[in-house]
Amino acid sequence: MTKKSDALTALQVKNAKPKEKPYKLFDGGGLYLEVAPTGSRIWRLKYRQLNGKENRLSFGPYPEITLQEARERRLEARKLLLNGVDPAKYRDDAKRRAVEQAANTFEKIAREWYATKVPTWSARTAKNMIQRLEADIFPEIGSRPIDELKHRDIIIALRKIEERGAAEIAHRLKAVCSKIFSYAIQCGLTDRNLVVDMKDVLKTRRASHFAAIDADELPAFLGSLERNEARMFQPTRIALRLMLLVFVRTSELIETPWSEINLEKCEWIIPWQRMKRGKLTVNPDTTNHHVCLSRQACDLLRELHAITGGGKYLFPNQRDHKRPISNNTILVALERMGYKGRMTGHGFRALAMSTIKERLGYRHEVVDRQLAHAPKDKVASAYDRAQFLAERSKMSKRPLSDVLSSASYC
C-alpha cells in the first residue's frame, strides 16, 4: 500500500475553522498553519538554529500567502540553513537593509556630500550649489532612495532644466549628480554611478568663451566711448577705460576701495584676500597682486578721485554709497554702447592677452602674471614666485597708441 502523505491540501487550508484553542495543521519539513480562535491563519516554520536551538519563523497570513508560496519560502529557508545562514537573522537583516535603503534618499545623500564639500568652497559657490539642487533636482528625485533610482529618473529631471533654456545649468547639475553618486558608492549605499553612462542624453554644448572684440576693433570702441552717445556717467566711462589699461577682473576693479590706491606713487596693490585665488578655501594664494599702472591709468584715477574720492569705493553704488556698483554695470554699459554679445567685462582680459602677446611681442608668462593667472603646472607654481614686476611695469606703460597703431585700419 502507498503510504498516506502528511502534506496539506489547498482545500484543507481553505476549510480550516477556528476552535476554542489555537491549533496547527502540519505540512511537513517544519511548515505548519497556525489557526487562532479569532480565525486568523498564519504560516510558520519550525527549525533548528545553527547552534541546535529550536526557533520559529513566520511567513505571513493566509490567504495572502498561499500554500504554494509558503512551501517556496520553506525551501528558501532550508537552502539558507544548508549554507550556514540562519533564516530568521537573514530576514531581520533584509528588513533592516530595506529600512536603511528607504531612508537613504537622494536628497539625504546629496546634503551629506554637500556638507563634506562646503569647507572647500567659497560662500557664493556653496549658496549657488544648494539653491540649484533645491530648485531643480530635489523636487524631482530627492525623495527617492538613491539605490532605487533609474537612468530615466535622472534624465527626466535634467531635461526639464534643459527645456526651459538653461542648458548650461543642466550640464553642471549632471556633473554634480555624478559626484553625489560617487560619494554614495564610497559610503556603500549604492553600487553604480548612473550618471557616468549619460554621455549623450543632453544636447551638446558648443565651446564658448567670453565675448571680446579684437585689437582691430579698438579704434571704433574708443571712438564710441569718447562720443558717449550712450550717455553714461563719467565714473562708468572711466571704469571702461581702466578695464582696457589694467586688465583686472571686473569684480576686482569695481570693489576696489580708495585705500588700495596710492596716487602719489601711482601704485595699486590688491590684497590677496580680494583676488580670485586668494579666496580659495583650500591652499589659497597669499600673494598680493601688484597692478602695474601706466601714466594714462594714473591720470584716470586722479580724475576719478575728484568725483568719488570722498567715499570708500572707486565706484560707489548710486543708491548706497557704502556699497560698490554691481557686476552688471559694466555689462549694461557695453550693451548701451551697442556691444551686446560682442564684448564683456571679462573680454577686456582676453583682449589684453591676445593683443599684448601678438601685437607687442611680450612673453606669455609676463602677461599671465599681469592678469593674475595661476601657473597651469602645479609643480612649476610651487617654485615660481617671480612677479616680473620690471617687465610688467614697462609693458603697462606702453602707450595705448602702440596698440592702436598696430590695428589694421588705424
Among 14-28, 260-274, 396-410, name the one with the lowest average pLDDT: 396-410
Of 335, 314, 313, 317, give the one whose Cα is nearest residue 326.
Answer: 317
Q: Which residue has the cell 567685462?
A: 345
Same domain for 390 and 262? yes
* pLDDT number for residue 101: 61
**How many domains does the chain contain in total?**
3
| 165 in the same domain as 149 | yes
- Check residues 364 and 268 and name the one with the higher pLDDT: 268
Q: What is the mean pLDDT of the chain?
A: 81
Amino acid 1: pLDDT: 36
Q: How far apart are CA 203 and CA 223, in angstroms?
A: 41
The pLDDT, as a whole number, for residue 218 is: 81
pTM: 0.49
Final residue in a domain of this structure, among 164, 197, 230: 197
Same domain, 168 and 53: no
The pLDDT, as a whole number, for residue 243 is: 86
**Structural domain span for residue 156:** 106-197
Same domain, 137 and 39: no
How far apart, in whole angstroms, are the C-alpha atoms of residue 229 and residue 389?
38
In a domain, 18, yes or no: yes
243 and 382 housed in the same domain:
yes
CA distances from 23 to 20, 32, 38, 47, 50 (A): 9, 10, 12, 18, 27
Q: Which residue has the higher pLDDT, 381 or 84?
A: 84
What would the mean pLDDT of 95-108 be, rounded to a whole number?
76
CATH of the domain at 158: 1.10.150.130
Q: For residue 337, is it within any domain?
A: yes
Please check whether residues 68 and 119 belong to one and the same domain: no
Least confident piece of the model among 62-71, 139-148, 157-166, 397-406: 397-406
Same domain for 378 and 316, yes or no, is: yes
Residue 2 maps to a domain:
no
What is the per-residue pLDDT for 327? 80
Let me know whether 287 and 392 are in one domain. yes
pLDDT digits (tens, 9 = 90+) for 298-315: 999 999 999 999 999 999
SS (H, E, C) the chain: CCCCCCCCCHHHHHHCCCCCCCEEEEEECCEEEEECCCCCEEEEEEEECCCCCEEEEEEEECCCCCHHHHHHHHHHHHHHHHCCCCHHHHHHHHHHHHHHHHHCEHHHHHHHHHHHHHHHCCHHHHHHHHHHHHHHHHHHHHCCEHHHCCHHHHHHHHHHHHHCCCHHHHHHHHHHHHHHHHHHHHCCCCCCCHHHHCCCCCCCCCCCCCCCCCHHHHHHHHHHHHHCCCCCCHHHHHHHHHHHHHCCCHHHHHCCEHHHEECCCCEEEECHHHCCHHHCCCCCCCCCEEECCCHHHHHHHHHHHHHHCCCCECCECCCCCCCECCCHHHHHHHHHCCCCCCCCCCHHHHHHHHHHHHCCCCCHHHHHHHCCCCCCCHHHHHHCCCCCHHHHHHHHCCCHHHHHHHCCCC
Instruction: For residues 59 and 130, state if they share a domain.
Output: no
- The grid coordinates of residue 395 equal 609693458
Mean pLDDT across 155-160:
94
For the segment 256-299, what is each residue's pLDDT rounded down to a tens digit? Answer: 999 999 999 888 888 888 887 777 766 777 888 888 788 888 99
The verdict on residue 6 lying in a domain is no
Q: Is the same domain home to 193 and 242? A: no
92 within some domain: yes
Angle, helices 218-227 vs 234-246, to 10°: value is 160
277 and 148 in a common domain: no
Using the predicted structure, report yes or no on whether residue 325 has a pLDDT greater than 70: yes
- Using an 8 Å Cβ cutoff, are 211 and 343 in contact? yes
What is the tens place of the pLDDT at every residue in 60-88? Answer: 899 999 999 999 999 999 998 888 888 88
For residue 210, tell me if it sits in a domain: no
7 part of a folded domain: no
Residue 253 shares a structural domain with residue 357: yes
Find the CATH number of the domain harbouring 377.
1.10.443.10
CB atoms within 10 A of CB 404: 15
What pLDDT, on the 0 to 100 scale, is given for residue 341? 83
Q: What is the CATH number of the domain that holds 55?
A: 3.30.160.390
Render pLDDT for 173-230 as a digit per residue (tens, 0 to 9): 999 999 999 999 999 888 999 998 888 888 876 555 567 777 778 888 888 889 988 8
- Catalytically annotated residues: 249, 276, 346, 349, 373, 383
For residue 365, is pLDDT > 80? no
Examine residue 205 and state whether it is found in any structural domain, yes or no.
no
